[in-house]
Structures are given as C-alpha cells and as structure tokens.
Chain A
C-alpha cells in the first residue's frame, strides 16, 4: 500500500517535472547554487584542516618542545621579559635526559639556511637541520633510500647528511643515485647516507622535502648554537600512558633546576606542544566555517523560496486535476505526498548537481594546488540532507494547501 502510494506519487512528480523542463531547471538552480556554495566552503575548510592537522601531527602530538618563545600568547604578553631568556642549549639535553622519568625519547634540533653544492649544482638558502641522535626518535619521518645516522656518528659529529626529496633532486638531477656521494654543506664536505621519502607541500612549511639533516655535532661547526635565529630547541616525547600535562610538569621542574631558578622566579623557558597550534587553528576554521555557513545558508534560503514559489504555481496550475483526483477517490495524503515528492525531487536533483560540480572542482583543484582537496562523506551526507530538508520545508505548505482543496471547487477552477 505505502509502496504503491510512493510509486504513484513519484511518477506524478516525475511527469510534472519533465513536462516543465525550463521551470524545473530554473527552480533547481537556486538549490544547486546554495549547496555548491555551502559545501564548497566546507570542503575547502576540511581539506585545509586535514592538511594542517597532518603537518602538526608530523611534529608529534605527544611531544613537548622546550624553547625560548611560547607559540601562543594572550593580550598581556610580557615579550620584553622573554627577550632576555637564554635559548635552550645542547648541554641541557643531557641533563633532561638524565633526570626525566616520563620521557620516551629526547632530542635537540638547530636549523639554519645554508648553501648546498654538488659539482655544478647549487642550492642556496636551503634549510640545514642539525639533529641530535635522539631527535630521530621524536620526529616522525620516513627514509626512502639509505639510512639514518648512527648514535656514534651523531656523537662524533661525522660529516654525513640525509637529504629531503627536493634537495636531492636539485643536487642530483637526471635520477642520479646520491647515496654515498659527497656534497658541500656551507663549504664543508659531507657524505650523503640517506634520502627522506617525499612528503609533498605542507601548509606549516615543515616538510622534510626541502631540508638536509646533519648530526648536531657537525652542524655546530657551521652554525651559531647560541643564536635564536637558528631556532634551537629540545623536543621531549612522552612515554605511553604519560599525558602532556604530566610531562610538562616534570620538565618545568627539571628545567628550573638546570637553570638554577629561585622558587619565586618566573620560568625562563617556554614549554610548547602541538595541540596549542591545533587549538588555534580550530578557532580559525570555526570562524571560516560559520562564515561559509552564513553565506551558503542565505543561498539555500533563496533556493528554498524559489522552490516554494514554483510549487505554489504548480498547485495553482493543477487545481482542477487535483479536484478530479479527489473526486475519483484520491485521499488527502496522496495529494500531499504527490506535491511534497515533487518539491523534494527538485531540491534533491539541485543538491546532487551542486555536489557533482564540487566534485569536478576538487578534481581540477587537486591538479592545480599541491594539496589533497576531496569531497568527504560527511559533506556529501550534509549536502543531500540539506537538499531533502529544504525540499520538505519549502514544499510542505503548497502541498498541504493542495491536499486541503475542496474537490468541487477545485474542479470548477480554470
């Protein structure tokens, strides 16, 4: 019974839509534009969020960074106090390593812009990072070819390097095999022992593709380790079951004792964690999402009015047909469902076209931008849901008024 009713209502609605093609097209255009606007914004925001979250996670979400400057600060930020803070030093790393019970791995990193050279191929201003051996256990990375340096190579400051994919391509063009070959890092000879796997663009700019990594004890021969321009920091990865808060508490005590701070003295270091960055981005994306929702919401509102208008016209045009149907025994709910289906159909087709346009846009954008932009399942569900609900909301009043028509008066109408 219900299936028959649904089938008949669908057939009626389909005929009504097909018989007025231009009107159908114009009325579903509003919903198409609305869904296109709102879901495009959500798709872009989701893609950016995913990319940034991936970049942040590559830094490690259970890692605390001991640095000079905090990553986030409020309006009462006493920057003049922070200016005089010392930068983290390599000798502090050993102390932290000795005293910490919550740390699984601890590393030190310093980075600077240097010139890399291999025969006639030169890369200027390339990021050269000096890592302690332990930093390789803190930072997430993949080696495509070769290996990571050994602990003895790191401690002795061997002149070895691991190159990012773009650096390797620049120094060794035409698919040359770089492992075992020598490059010059800031004029010093260095043997290539490994290649990082290509990561692609990162919105935070922390991709390994554009970096060359050398042992810290080799890097300090070419970098000023006390300069904050070289951004030195100690990274501490928490053991399983240890929260970042617990780790920060422990590190605060250790760093205060290392630096000999008096009980009432302020900390002269900052403990940063990646979820501080994530929280900041969450706020930003929420604002962009809400702005997109408002813009898209208005577009959908206009589309909904368009469908409601078309449905009122449709009811008016078919008033005597409704009268005939009712006089032949059609129930109110049949008339109601017939017009309601028509409205939902219109809206749903508009929504599907909008989603298809977004899908095509993501394909084009994926080729233009070096970032994964994709239409997610949640956005498809949201788009289809909004389409159906707008169809019901804008079509119910005309459909209900059609179902309430008196058959005699309806037949008489012209």
Chain B
C-alpha cells in the first residue's frame, strides 16, 4: 500500500478544521442547547465527533474522510436549520466548511480509497 504524501494545504486546513470542530464541542454544554431537548446535545455531539473522525481520515489522505466530511457538513447544516440555530457559528461553519471541501475535493483523486 503506497503512502500518499499529504499536501501542505491539506495539513493546514486539517489543523484548522480540527480546531474549529473541537471549539464547537463546548456548545453541547450550553444551557440554550440543553433546553432544546434531552437528545439535542447527543445529536450535535455525534455530528461533531464524526466531523472530527472525518478530518482524521483526511489527515491520512483517505477518500472516506472527504466523503464523511461532506455528509456530516450537510447533516450539520440541516440539523442547525431544523433547530433554528441561525447564529454566527451557523454561517461561519458553512463558510469554512465549503472552503475546506473545495480544498479537499481538489486533492480528492490523490487520496487513498481504502480504510
């Protein structure tokens, strides 16, 4: 199995994505999210965790990482819309995620298809 060298732009976006995702984690504890329902923090937590997992996949230059990142981005946007969380973080998340997806797709073909 040939090791694919990670481009610098993927390294930079990967680190930024991990920071942004982990910064979103404390959101689960906020009283406003807790008040939305017993299972809302759980759903948002699963989305954030899977986004984290997807970035680890991208870091290792795996195609599944990009696929998972795109799927989780869509789910996150739909969930936020469903919960009516139209805050700064919602728009910021769309902004950086779309930007990262463009970078990731640009290098998608170079990535490994295996797990």
Using CB atoms and an 8 Å cutoff, list the residues of chain A in contact with chain B. Answer: 38, 42, 45, 285-286, 289-290, 292-294, 296-297, 332-333, 336, 377-378, 381-382, 385-386, 389, 392-393, 396-397, 400, 403-404
Contact = CB atoms under 8 A, between A and B. Distances in A.
A396 B45 contact: no
A38 B26 CA distance: 11
A336 B57 CA distance: 13
Contacts of B25: 297
Interface residues of B, number: 23
Interface in B31-66: 31-32, 34, 38-39, 41-42, 45-46, 48-49, 52-53, 56, 60
B60 A293 contact: no
Contacts of A381: 38-39, 41-42
Contacts, number: 62
Contacts of A403: 115
Given A378-B38, A381-B38, A385-B45, A393 B30 contact: no
A392 B28 contact: no
Given A333-B115, A378-B38, A400-B60, A293 B29 contact: yes
- Dominant secondary structure at the B interface: helix
A285 B42 CA distance: 21
Contact of A297 (B26, B41, B115): B26
B46 A389 contact: yes
B53 A396 contact: yes
A-B pairs, top 9 by smallest CB distance, nearest first, are: A293-B29, A289-B31, A378-B38, A385-B42, A389-B45, A286-B31, A389-B49, A332-B115, A297-B26
A336 B28 CA distance: 27
Contact of B38 (A45, A377, A392): A377
Chain A CB within 10 Å — which of B26, B28, B29, B34 has the most?
B29
Contact of A396 (B41, B42, B52, B114): B52
